[in-house]
Amino acid sequence: MSEETGDKAWVELDPVQPVWERFFLVSPLVVVGTREGEGFDLAPKHMAFPLGWENYFGFVCTPRHATYHNARESGAFTVSYPRPDQLVVTSLTAQRRDAEGSVPALDLLPTESARVVEGIFLRDAYVQLECELEKVVDGFGPNSLIAGRIVAARVRSDALRTSDRGDTEQIRNAPLLAYLHPGRFAEISETRVFPFPADFSR
């Protein structure tokens, strides 16, 4: 339950309840692939991000989902960054499992095989990462952080940053897909240079 403060510009949120449904938050939208039995599973994730500046990647999952157990058992996962025109395909990876525990729509999706780990990608995604599992950190309420080390990576040529093409032009020609939690998406094609201070360093 929210409560207005004396300053009408702010609304206090109750930290006993999750706050994330009360405002929009920009996140990436990726599809995580895992080995499942004799086949593979794909699942969309928006709580997904690089873990530092080295080649580590993590995403939030829950033991209620097959992705969590698949990654633990197989020791690997893949990450596909879909393009905006792959929104419907990406959405289909979120389809509920049937009574037999399978997701029929996955058999219809365009995929391609990973090259280093056992896994699959969404075909035509603009970035593909292959990760070996580093650790699983449980205990974020009902959620867990699944962390992997990138052992192979590919990027489409039109999405690759190069010195002979400006960043503004590149993003305009190869837009990015973003997830706006809860329940919306955006296509990012117009961007500006961030005004870092002259002495800024990471």
Higher pLDDT, 34 or 6: 34
Q: Is residue 183 a part of any domain in this protein? A: yes
Residue 10 belongs to a domain: no
In this structure, are residues 42 and 120 in contact, taking their beta carbons and an 8 Å threshold? yes
The whole domain housing 99 covers: 20-188
Give just the sign of the alpha carbon dihedral 36, 41, 47, 48: positive
Residue 160's pLDDT is 94
Instruction: Tell me whether residue 165 is in a domain.
Output: yes
Q: Is 15 exposed, middle or buried (0-12, 13-18, 19+ CB in 10 A)?
A: exposed
Query: What's the number of domains the chain is made of?
Result: 1
> Does a structural domain hold residue 40?
yes
pLDDT at 198: 87
pLDDT digits (tens, 9 = 90+) for 105-161: 777 899 999 999 999 999 999 999 999 999 999 999 999 999 999 999 999 999 999
Q: 130 lies in a domain?
A: yes
Query: 152-162 pLDDT, tens per residue?
Result: 999 999 999 98
User: Where do we find the tokens 């192979």?
Assistant: 152
CA-based Rg of the chain, rounded to a whole angstrom? Answer: 19
Task: Give domain status of residue 46, yes or no.
Answer: yes
Q: Is residue 195 part of a domain?
A: no
Determine, yes or no, domain membership for 3.
Answer: no
Q: Residues of the chain with pLDDT > 70: what percent? A: 93
The CATH number covering residue 133 comes to: 2.30.110.10
List the beta strands (DSSP E) in the chain: 3-4, 11-12, 25-28, 30-36, 39-45, 48-50, 56-61, 76-81, 111-113, 120-122, 127-140, 143-155, 176-181, 184-188
